[in-house]
Amino acid sequence: MSFENLLQIFSDKEPRPNKFTLFMGEAIRTAREEAGLSQVELAKIIYKRRATLSDIENGKVEVSTSVLTLLAHVLKKPLAYFLPWYAYRELKQEDLTPLETELLLHFRKIWDEHLQRIAVDQVRVLGEFDPREMILESAEIVADEKQSLEDLKKLLE
């Protein structure tokens, strides 16, 4: 897409809905449904009326940067998820680390979109995982078991 075409899409003169707002609205709807939220629930979280969110999802309203940022946070999606490919620069292969490249190569072998969604969810969970929390919880369990064993030994004596 040329720069002039991109400028035209973002022009205030371009009627709504248009190709850009329809794409963004559909991405927001999909992410909302994946998160298990109703329009009423999400509208409340982002401080909008349900009718406004409906207009956004139907491409009738262009989303502000602040609302889009809030949506990305609430719906656990990167900002680029809500933008069509022509609206941002794609990562170049040389911008990726070797591990990111390997992950992408394996991801592209997944033939089913549902399985790809599962893979993305698993990577997200791994990214949020903090092993320190697990160690602390395990330490409490071990301490409780040790105390229980000591109590049992005393009881048997």
- Per residue in 60-118, pLDDT (tens digit) is 998 999 999 999 999 999 888 898 877 665 556 667 788 888 888 888 899 898 999 89
- Per DSSP (E only), the strands in 78-135 are none
Q: Domain 3-90: which topology?
A: 434 Repressor (Amino-terminal Domain) (1.10.260)
Q: Boundaries of CATH 1.10.260.40 in the chain?
A: 3-90
Integer Cα distance of 30 and 35 in angstroms: 9
pLDDT, position 156: 74
CB of 45 within 8 A of CB of 39?
no
User: Which of the 8 DSSP states describes residue 89?
Assistant: P
Proportion of the chain above pLDDT 70, given as a percent:
85
Average pLDDT of the residues of the chain = 84
This model's pTM is above 0.85: no
pLDDT, position 67: 95
- Per residue in 107-130, pLDDT (tens digit) is 889 989 899 989 999 998 998 888
Side-chain-facing half-sphere of 82: CA atoms under 13 Å: 26
Integer Cα distance of 39 and 51 in angstroms: 9
The residues, ordered by sequence, that sit 6+ positions from 101 with a Cβ below 8 Å of its Cβ are 93
Integer Cα distance of 30 and 109 in angstroms: 23
pLDDT, position 5: 60
